[in-house]
């Protein structure tokens, strides 16, 4: 694997949040090192509060690591060059409810410097791809959670990114919605995009990812290919064993 | 630059669709329009009262918009976590702040333009239009630009309530810096120097105060307007850049 094929690289990343005066600092991530390669789908697993979202925020530049190095697409995490080439679907879609679905995706496109009829055509194609053409002129405040998730996927793809971050993409979706989103992720895989997603739905991770990392209480307790981790049993077994081992350490 | 424009247009849409602007426009229309009615209740100087009431209403509503909408702009982005979507794209935090500020300035300019239109209509029925009212409106917009920047700065580091209170205090103090300086002259040296230094930092809103003189027939001084324009732009730019710098240091 050449250095150019490493899309995400974390070296000893630690994040400590300094709480309010009188409270002890809180270590959310501790000495995390991992790599994600071009074209692979990487799943970051962990129980609630394990630090998955914080790790993704570091990669997006929303949060700075206290120590260690985070590189994304060959530049320091959070650099404008890297952000221009990635897409991001946040956990629980927080979008501008006063905009319609089409306006929102167009707004996201304009943040990449896109505009004109080309952007409008692209937005229409993306909304069709996520099955939201029928609701494109409806304000987001009237959308269900599943509809918001779909429009969130559309905005994450508006710049045709090389790397896509999905934070709990399946949460809140009904079985049909989950299947449709799985199909979209598989399509992105077949297009050669690198996908980094946080989830605690193990069946989805097992079906979609080549490699996974398991976070527990801010530590990377297991890291490797799904094939290796499931050699002794299911991914759930490997996950529970890794989390319990860390808890008892 | 494109990102700044996109954020500004989004802010404009947000305020307009939240119906805040509609509410203010209806209120402004009623107040400015009824100033003609108030004037009929007096025995003399009917036109002067029309202009006094209408211009004071325009300023009051513009200030309310800066206080309550401006103070919430960045906080809403943070509370609703919509800024995750924006900042995960190639948009700097400074661009986000500039976009929010310019969006608010667009709304304020629209509000003042609409109210000036209503006032023009009232003037037609009370002795004819003085086109120099446009200059008075421009000075009001400049003052509101500065207040919007102060609101945006406040919302970068504190809550909407505190931001509104601080901006309101700065509005009152900013119109009375001369009084503050006079008081300072009677203080002990250390206090006097401190107050005088503070007066140099605080926004001097008296430079925008032309409406009283204009209502009394004093023509607008173009050079004064140019100086006020430069002052408003420089002070606002400083506040917005400071807000961007503060936001750069925050984590969510």
Joined together, the tokens standing for residue B240 give 């917005």
**Does B20 reach chain A within 8 Å, measured CB to CB?**
no
In whole angstroms, what is the distance from residue A127 CA to residue A119 CA? 12
Residues of chain B in contact with residue A108, where contact means CB-CB under 8 angstroms, are: 85, 89
Domain count for chain B = 1
CA B23 to chain centre: 18
Place of tokens 């500039």: B98
Under 8 Å CB pairs connecting chains A and B tally to: 76
In terms of residue numbers, what domain contains B180?
2-248
Residues of chain A in contact with residue B14, where contact means CB-CB under 8 angstroms, are: 96, 98
In tens, the pLDDT along A106-156 reads: 999 999 999 899 999 999 999 999 889 999 999 999 998 888 988 999 999
**pLDDT over 60 at A3, yes or no:** no
> In what side-by-side order are the strands of the sheet with A211-216?
A86-89, A163-167, A194-199, A41-45, A211-216, A219-225
Reported confidence tier of residue B46, pLDDT bands at 50, 70, 90 = confident
Closest by alpha carbon to A119, among B85, B81, B6?
B6
Interval A56-66 mean pLDDT: 93
Q: How large is the angle between the packed helices B133-155 and B93-124, nearest 10 degrees? A: 150
In tens, the pLDDT along A207-230 reads: 889 999 999 999 999 888 988 888
pTM for this predicted structure? 0.88
- Burial letters for B98-108: b for 16+ Cβ neighbours within 10 Å, e otherwise? bbbbbbbbbbb
Q: How large is the angle between the packed helices B20-40 and B93-124, nearest 10 degrees? A: 30
In whole angstroms, what is the distance from residue B165 CA to residue A156 CA? 39
In tens, the pLDDT along A164-201 reads: 999 888 877 888 888 888 888 999 999 999 999 898 78
In whole angstroms, what is the distance from residue A9 CA to residue A16 CA? 19
Residue B44: predicted pLDDT: 62
**Does B189 reach chain A within 8 Å, measured CB to CB?**
no
Closest by alpha carbon to A249, among A210, A228, A222, A229?
A222
Domains delineated in chain A:
1-74+196-249 (3.40.50.300)
In whole angstroms, what is the distance from residue A53 CA to residue B4 CA? 27
Q: What is chain B's mean pLDDT, rounded?
A: 87
Give A238: exposed, middle or buried? Use CB within 10 Å, 0-12, 13-18, 19+.
buried
**Does B3 reach chain A within 8 Å, measured CB to CB?**
yes
Kindly determine whether residue A107 and residue B5, on different chains, have CB atoms separated by under 8 Å. Answer: no
Alpha helices per DSSP H over chain B: 2-17, 20-40, 46-68, 73-79, 82-87, 93-124, 133-155, 160-174, 177-184, 189-201, 211-215, 222-248
ipTM over 0.95: no
Kindly determine whether residue B92 and residue A80, on different chains, have CB atoms separated by under 8 Å. Answer: yes
In tens, the pLDDT along B167-194 reads: 999 999 999 998 988 888 888 888 889 9
Give the three-class secondary structure for B165: helix
Whether the CA torsion A24, A28, A33, A38 is positive or negative: it is negative
**Does B14 reach chain A within 8 Å, measured CB to CB?**
yes
Residue B40: predicted pLDDT: 67
Whether the CA torsion A207, A208, A213, A215 is positive or negative: it is negative
**Does A98 reach chain B within 8 Å, measured CB to CB?**
yes
Which of A96, A100, A161 should one mutate to test binding to chain B, selecting the residue with the greatest count of B CBs within 10 A? A96
Give B119: exposed, middle or buried? Use CB within 10 Å, 0-12, 13-18, 19+.
buried
**pLDDT over 80 at B21, yes or no:** no
Give B178: exposed, middle or buried? Use CB within 10 Å, 0-12, 13-18, 19+.
exposed
Kindly determine whether residue B3 and residue A111, on different chains, have CB atoms separated by under 8 Å. Answer: yes
Interval B10-31 mean pLDDT: 79
- Burial letters for B199-215: b for 16+ Cβ neighbours within 10 Å, e otherwise? eeeebbbebbbbbeebb
């Amino acid at each position: 694997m050449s250095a150019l094929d490493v899309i995400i690289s974390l070296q000893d990343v630690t994040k400590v949040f300094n709480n309010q005066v009188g409270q002890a600092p809180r270590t959310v991530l501790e000495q995390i090192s991992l790599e994600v390669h071009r074209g692979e789908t990487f799943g970051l697993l962990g129980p609630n509060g394990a630090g998955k979202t914080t790790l993704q925020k570091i990669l997006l530049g929303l949060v700075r690591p206290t120590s260690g190095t985070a590189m994304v697409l060959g530049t320091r995490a959070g650099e404008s060059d890297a952000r221009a080439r990635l897409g991001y679907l946040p956990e629980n879609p927080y979008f501008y409810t006063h905009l319609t679905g089409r306006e929102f995706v167009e707004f996201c496109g304009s943040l990449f410097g896109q505009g004109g009829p080309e952007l409008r055509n692209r937005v229409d194609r993306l909304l069709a791809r996520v099955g939201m053409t029928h609701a494109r002129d409806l304000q987001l405040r009237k959308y269900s959670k599943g509809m918001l998730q779909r429009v969130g996927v559309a905005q994450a793809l508006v710049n045709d990114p090389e790397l896509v971050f999905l934070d709990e993409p399946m949460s809140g979706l009904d079985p049909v919605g989950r299947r449709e989103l799985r199909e979209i992720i598989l399509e992105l895989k077949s297009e050669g995009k690198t996908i980094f997603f946080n989830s605690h739905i193990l069946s989805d991770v097992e079906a979609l990812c080549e490699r996974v990392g398991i976070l527990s209480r801010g530590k990377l307790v297991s890291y490797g290919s799904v094939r290796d981790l499931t050699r002794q049993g299911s991914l759930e077994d490997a996950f529970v064993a890794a989390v319990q081992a860390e808890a008892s350490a | 630059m494109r990102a700044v424009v996109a954020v500004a247009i989004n802010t404009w849409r947000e305020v307009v669709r939240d119906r805040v602007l509609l509410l203010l426009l209806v209120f402004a229309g009623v107040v400015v329009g009824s100033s003609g009615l108030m004037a009929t209740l007096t025995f003399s100087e009917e036109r002067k009262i029309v202009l006094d009431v209408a211009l004071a209403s325009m300023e009051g509503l513009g200030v309310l918009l800066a206080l309550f909408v401006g103070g919430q702009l960045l906080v809403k982005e943070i509370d609703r976590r919509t800024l995750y979507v924006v900042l995960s794209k190639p948009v700097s935090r400074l661009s986000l702040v500039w976009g929010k500020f310019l969006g608010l300035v667009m709304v304020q300019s629209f509000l003042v333009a609409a109210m000036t239109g209503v006032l023009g209509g009232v003037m037609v029925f009370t002795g004819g239009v003085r086109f120099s009212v446009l200059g008075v409106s421009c000075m009001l917009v400049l003052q509101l630009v500065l207040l919007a920047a102060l609101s945006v700065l406040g919302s970068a580091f504190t809550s909407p309530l505190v931001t509104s209170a601080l901006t309101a205090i700065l509005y009152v103090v900013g119109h009375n810096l001369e009084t503050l300086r006079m008081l300072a002259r009677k203080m002990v040296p250390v206090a006097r120097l401190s107050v005088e230094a503070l007066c140099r930092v605080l926004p001097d809103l008296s430079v925008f105060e032309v409406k009283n003189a204009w209502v009394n027939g004093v023509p607008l001084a173009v050079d004064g307007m140019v100086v006020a324009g430069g002052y408003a732009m420089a002070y606002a730019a400083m506040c917005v850049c400071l807000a961007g710098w503060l936001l750069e240091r925050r984590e969510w």
